[in-house]
Structure 1
Amino acid sequence: MRTTRASCRAPGGYRPRRARAEEMPLSLLPVTAHSAEALRDTCRELSNHVERNAAPWLPDLAYTLATRRTPLPHRIALVVRDRVRFARWPSAYLR
């Protein structure tokens, strides 16, 4: 059976409201690499990935970065609440 967006709505057409930025959880995004140059490249790739894909929810991304990536000697971590704030950090770091 194919599920459509309309069939996923609650009875009565109720749609949950979107959370305001201050209601979103803070996420710690750790990024590591072998060198400073590689760290900048990794940050750029991560930023591009989030820009291209609307799907990654920041808490899920934070979990993956913290548990599925190998800790390497060059590190940076950022605390973000939403995608808008996340989109700003790489340009400041990559200058």
Structure 2
Amino acid sequence: MLSISIYIGKDFSALQGQPFGNHERAFLYEGVPDYSEVVSMELSGEYIDKLSPIRDDRGQMLLLASTNENVRDQLRTIARDNLHRRMRMIDLEYHP
């Protein structure tokens, strides 16, 4: 399941948590995310809807990043700390 969180700068508090588009898979948030918390929640599987009563084996997590150096380095550290939890990071080219 794909869910997209878009974090925007200041003065967007009225849109906090609002769906973006017609598909209700992208949501707008104000401010800067706590990347460690976001990754931890995703890896826990707590927010993943179970579509079937069949036993679910834990899968892998792919983190795609296209961002500036500071955020990229922060995400690399988080990914490296979670390799044992089957997490992989792909660093995409960044165009500011």
- Normalization by structure 1: what TM-score? 0.29
Larger radius of gyration: 1
Q: Using CA pairs below 8 Å that are at least 6 residues apart, which structure has the higher relative contact order?
A: 1
Q: Would you tell me which structure has more helix in proportion to its own residues?
A: 1
- Normalization by structure 2: what TM-score? 0.29
Q: Would you tell me which structure has more strand in proportion to its own residues?
A: 2
